[in-house]
Amino acid sequence: MKTRDWKQSLEEDYERRGRRKPVFYSDSKIELEDVYDQEDLTERGFAPERDLGLPGQYPYTRGIYPGMYRADFWIMGQYSGFGNPEATNQRFKYLLSKGQTALALALDLPTQLGIESDAELAEGEVGKAGVAVNSLRDLEKVFEGIPLSRPRQIFTTANAIGPVMLALFLALGEKQGLDPSQYTIVLQNDILKEYVARGAYIFQPEPSVRFAIDAVEYCTRHHPHFKPIVVCGSHMRQGGASAIQEVAFTLSNAQTYIEEALSRGLKVDDFAPSMECQLSVPMNLFEEVAKYRAFRRMWARMMKEKYGAENPETMKCFIRVYTTGYTMTAQQPLNNIVRVTIEALAAILGGAQSLSCNAMDEVVCIPSEEAARVALMTQHILANETGIADVADPLGGSYYTESLTCDIEKKALELMDRIREMGGAHKAIEEGFYQRLIRESASEYQQQIEKGERIIVGLNRFQEEGEKIKIDCFRVEEGVQERVVERLHRLKEERDNDRVEGCLGQLKQAVKGGQNTVPALLQCAKAYATIGEMCRTIGEEWGFYQEGALWM
């Protein structure tokens, strides 16, 4: 029976039963057919040689490496960091002992905002959402007994302070007697999404973009194996963006960074291979798989057709993935293990290069040691017990998967055209365009839950009557802020403050003169200047962004 005839018989079957045939949509409002076949691909203009290819070949729809996970599993990480540096050091050592292959350093909010731990605005936030790092001395404690060369890479959430953290890690590597070629640092360093989704910004938007590219330029010229920027869609997705919006916003933001780097005389094939992208992975399994495939294809085509890239490495997009915290529930928290497993499965089937899984209790607190272990073991089980890593792009060629991949690409390109017409990502963000679409999408998602149109097990369906939420929360040790502040004050008493002042003066001159700030920041870091001192020095020249900024 032909598909067209089959669909007609399906219509007749519903009619005989007196029921209306339901219409299904993906989370991004893509209307889904009853079944997919070659006709659907033909309608979308899908051409296998042009749009699909093979793994490791342009346009990399099927993955950026020929063997994918047959050659090597994805990088297994977990976002970690809390309290004081000593506590984070112990957690890192524990995770490494359990087979974690990368470290992701979470910084507390004051650190991310360049605020010293003894500032009034830091009160109550020190060590809460990550570890407090005021200076090189704190970073030395975080990595005491852990050579930077031990994990495959070290990732940190520095955005507004990206170049500052680069300087601190370079100074730490020197202290450990390592050449930078022996370790790899990955900086998130994506400031644009902060104005949209997180609010962890310090300076005005325009100089902030230049500041981020200081790290890109410095690493391109001196440490090309470092990863100085990770363009993030994940935070905007966490804020409510759809899969299509996540793709379009991330690629539009990437264009802003690329064009700033090109304006400095860098060649796209010199710096773009070090760029990475970070995406989220909610629960809609097939849409998420298709999203990663579409994203890779769009990245490759953008690099080749828009920027004239010739190096294949420039066209390969390294995707790191964090499972999605907003899909988890405080109710029936053990269910979150299942949710994280499904999300991780989607990321792997979609061909991600790095994956970090939320712990089941992360919806209410910093993960406990047991929950963190389960989250990491989830990846090991998927890698070693399921067979999903045995074949590159196992869903490739599926009528549904390929059709959905084409639909996401088409709709994301349309949204990118709208952003370009507004003057690019920078202008669209300034005018609140991203923010408005995200708010609308988030509101619709919440309304669907409240109306029962979207079922969340344990939350609005299949609840346990009289259930009491029982989560053994991890609690930051009492007195953390006092100890961190005491170390900060002791540092300022013991260091060579004349040297610090001299280095800060050089930093001020670099900012005034429009020079790359990283060399001056490196000297400041070696002198044990604090992150707060460096940021205040820069802010005196650039000004501080006022809209909702914590320290304003």
Give the pLDDT score at 267: 98
For the chain, domain boundaries: 49-434, 480-542
CA separation for the pair 375, 381 (Å, rounded):
10
Give the pLDDT score at 102: 85
Q: In what order do the strands lie in the sheet with 79-80?
A: 79-80, 103-105, 154-156, 185-187
Would you write out the chain's pLDDT as a tens digit for each of its 552 residues? 677 788 888 888 888 888 888 899 999 999 999 999 999 999 999 999 999 999 999 999 999 999 999 999 998 876 666 678 998 999 899 889 988 888 989 899 999 999 999 999 999 999 888 899 999 999 999 999 999 999 999 999 899 999 999 999 999 999 999 999 999 999 999 999 999 998 999 999 999 999 999 999 999 999 999 999 999 999 999 999 999 999 999 999 999 999 999 999 999 999 999 999 999 999 999 999 999 999 999 999 999 999 999 999 999 999 999 998 889 999 999 999 999 999 999 999 999 999 999 999 988 877 788 888 899 899 999 999 999 999 999 999 999 999 999 999 999 999 999 999 999 999 999 999 999 999 999 999 999 999 999 999 999 999 988 877 777 766 666 788 899 999 999 999 999 999 999 999 999 999 999 999 999 999 999 999 999 999 999 999 999 987 643 333
Digit-coded pLDDT (tens) for 157-202: 899 999 999 999 999 999 999 999 999 999 999 999 999 998 999 9
CA separation for the pair 193, 200 (Å, rounded):
9
DSSP 72-125: SPPEEE-EE--SSHHHHHHHHHHHHHTT---EEEPBPHHHHTT--TTSGGGTTT
- Considering the four listed CATH numbers 3.40.630.30, 3.90.960.10, 1.10.579.10, 3.20.20.240, the one that applies to the domain covering 49-434 is 3.20.20.240
Rounded to an integer, what is the distance from CA 160 to the centroid of its chain? 15
Whole-structure pTM value? 0.93
Evaluate whether 166 touches 218 at the Cβ level (below 8 Å).
yes
Instruction: Give 185's DSSP letter.
Output: E
Q: Which residue has the tokens 């989220």?
A: 280
Give the pLDDT score at 81: 62
Sequence-distant (≥ 6) Cβ neighbours of residue 114 within 8 angstroms: 160, 161, 164, 202, 531, 532, 534, 535, 536, 539, 551
Helix (H) or strand (E) holding 234: helix 234-238
Give the pLDDT score at 551: 36
Helix (H) or strand (E) holding 373: helix 369-385
* Token duo for residue 430: 């300034």
CA separation for the pair 357, 340 (Å, rounded):
7
Sequence-distant (≥ 6) Cβ neighbours of residue 331 within 8 angstroms: 458, 459, 463, 464, 467, 469
Give the pLDDT score at 151: 93
The amino acid at residue 288 is E
Instruction: Please state the φ and ψ torsions of residue 320, each to the nearest 5 degrees.
Output: -105, 145
Give the pLDDT score at 549: 39
How distant, in Å, are the alpha carbons of 28, 232, 275, 279 from that of 271?
32, 17, 7, 20
Digit-coded pLDDT (tens) for 235-249: 999 999 999 999 999
SS (H, E, C) 170-182: HHHHHHCCCCHHH
How distant, in Å, are the alpha carbons of 278, 424, 426, 427, 543 from that of 420?
22, 4, 10, 9, 28
